[in-house]
Structure 1
Amino acid sequence: MKLPKYAAAATAAVAFVSIAGVTAVSAAQADSGHKAVPSADAAALPSVNMEALVKAAQIDPRRADNKLTPGAKASVLLVEKALADKHLLDKKWVDGYFGTTTTAAYTKYQKSLGYKGLSANGLPGKSSLAKLGAGRFTVNHVIVPGAKVKFGPKYVVDTRTQKMLLQAQKVLHRKLVLDQGSYNPGGDPTSVGTHDGGGVVDINVKGMSAATRTSVAKALRQVGFAAWVRNPSQGDWPWHIHATAINDTDLSVQAQHQIGDYYLGKNGLANRGKDDGPKVTIRTWEEYLRLH
């Protein structure tokens, strides 16, 4: 609706959420081989693929058409039906398209739960999705940003982003140094809000050749970032690499827009120009892990 997605470190990134009789698995249980066992009632419920749902919530609002995000329709429909039943979304918008109207409805739902700030950013998070699905659907392919940690001496990122950066370093065989981290509201006005939430970093490129800058951007894209080499002609900033983690549910609204534009072949800037970065198959961090 135009108006208004090292080895699997993440068996701990749970395949089931405790909804309607589904047993949630802790990280410790997952490591010890325990599996979530759905009850008979839960097994009868349909399932929402959180990865596909979140991907659609980033891409669909940026589309100029009503094309559906591949693999997301069934999950989006379940969420839209639940929002409609709560009188937060008109039934005419229950169509499998997570556009701006559905995003606004999901934000209202998050706020109805008492969530604020990044917890009410319109992206379905683990907690709000579990509450919405109670008695309606189970949730698989759960995404969790994780706790806030430091990358380098002073910059803050979430655990999921930290793992992505560490893997990019392995791919590159070089250390990455940040110029800016995440959760930095108002810290850099030129960032226009992209760093207000999680999943977003700027990489220092001092001393890098043009070829090296491109190779770093490519490695970041390979592990699940939308990443671009930025130069002074584009804005009031020095040379750097801007990277936004696809499907991080702590993304600010502005960062969500960058992800949507990346999937649509654009440069992540306000002018929505053509993507000028290295060409790779676009994948999320979770998709990358399943392939390696």
Structure 2
Amino acid sequence: MELPSGTDNHRTRRWLLTRGAATAAAVAVGSVWAAPSAGAALATVDMELVLVAALVDPPKADTGLTPGCGPHVLPVEQALDAKNYLAASAVDGHYGTSTITAYAAYQQSLGYTGIDANGLPGATSLTSLGANRYTVIHPVRAGSRTESYGGKRVNARTKSMLANADGKVSFSITLTQGSYTSSNPDSAGTHDGGGVVDIGVSSLSTTQRWQLVKALRQVGFAAWLRTPDQGFAYHIHAVAVADPDLSKQAQAQVHDYYFGKNGLASHAADNTPSSYRVPFTWWEKYSRG
């Protein structure tokens, strides 16, 4: 977490595209950044959309843009290019593996290490990178990493999300594993960073389990019911979309969720019944209504 210096995907993709269109003409794809002339308005970078692209884009087999996100990614890549962290040929609005690597190198240059240099923009580094180039709107912060929910460690953002989801169901959410922990090797690194929790469901009916998956998705989690058929005891695995503290493994799970997959090594189809699926979203967008 960088400290501050001061599924119906069609509908969401259409929303993202509309939101990004206003800045699409501000820069040309692949162009070399040049300092704005005196008095010229700076480009606007929506941090939420940059984070969405940073989670959705890297595992793609091509360099296709995530709808609505490209115009916000492009100024970031141009700034990385200007600072010699990213090749000009990779300045394309696609926040792929090259951009992840470049941004991580920039974070390291600021003194960040570990999860703070994971290639996902934090509010502080994104603002620093954009000095005299762009302004940042909709900053996303994980908040304190030492919060607790039901006795399990989470960050402040995740705690707020869980509390809201908890209020949507008639039973209580019980965590079996929190964030920032590598104690369970079966988790394959997904819990090493922030934004990821496992939830016990042994006392819940099948309907209640799916109701909880839906509630978690509504507030911005990529959430799945894990089952014995998948090799797990019944539980819900949830990843907070757009959390800047996500581990590399958890980042890939958000990509799977966006494309209707299960977030496992098989990348099979999501097993969630259609009546419990919701449009792709994240906490800040949900909170704004």
Shorter-chain TM-score bucket reads 0.7 to 0.9
Q: Which amino acid aligns with 1:94?
A: V
Q: Of the candidates 105, 109, 130, which is equivalent to residue 106 of structure 2?
A: 109
Shift of 1:74: 1.4
Aligned to 2:259: 264
CA–CA distance in 2 between the matches of 1:55 and 1:287? 12
Question: Unaligned regions of 5+ residues in structure 2, if any?
Answer: 7-37
Aligned to 1:162: 159
**Within-5 A mapping of 1:1-292:** 24=6, 44-148=41-145, 149-152=147-150, 154-184=151-181, 186-235=182-231, 237-277=232-272, 278-291=276-289
> After alignment, is 118-127 or 169-178 more displaced?
169-178
Shift of 1:42: 8.8
CA–CA distance in 2 between the matches of 1:114 and 1:286? 28
Shift of 1:43: 7.8
SS in 1 for 2:78: helix
CA–CA distance in 2 between the matches of 1:92 and 1:125? 24
Shift of 1:146: 0.6
Aligned to 1:21: none
Residue-by-residue CA offset, 1:147-180 (whole Å, 9 max, x unaligned): 120101x210011111111111111132100000
Shift of 1:44: 2.3
Q: Which amino acid aligns with 1:284?
A: W
Contact 1:42 1:138 in 2 (8 A): no
Shift of 1:210: 1.3
CA–CA distance in 2 between the matches of 1:206 and 1:68? 40
CA–CA distance in 2 between the matches of 1:230 and 1:43? 52
Shift of 1:251: 0.5
CA–CA distance in 1 between the matches of 2:61 and 2:257? 14
Across the aligned residues of Structure 1 and Structure 2, the Cα RMSD in angstroms comes to 1.6
CA–CA distance in 1 between the matches of 2:120 and 2:40? 26
CA–CA distance in 1 between the matches of 2:174 and 2:279? 25
CA–CA distance in 1 between the matches of 2:131 and 2:77? 14
Identical-pair percentage: 51
Give aligned pairs, total.
251
Question: Unaligned regions of 5+ residues in structure 1, if any?
Answer: 1-16, 19-23, 25-40
Change beyond 3 A, Cα 1:42–1:137:
farther
Residue-by-residue CA offset, 1:187-224 (whole Å, 9 max, x unaligned): 10000000001100000101211111111111100110
Change beyond 3 A, Cα 1:194–1:42:
farther
> After alignment, is 206-215 or 248-257 more displaced?
206-215
Calculate the TM-score normalised by the size of structure 2.
Answer: 0.83
Change beyond 3 A, Cα 1:43–1:228:
farther
CA–CA distance in 2 between the matches of 1:221 and 1:42? 43
Contact 1:146 1:159 in 2 (8 A): yes
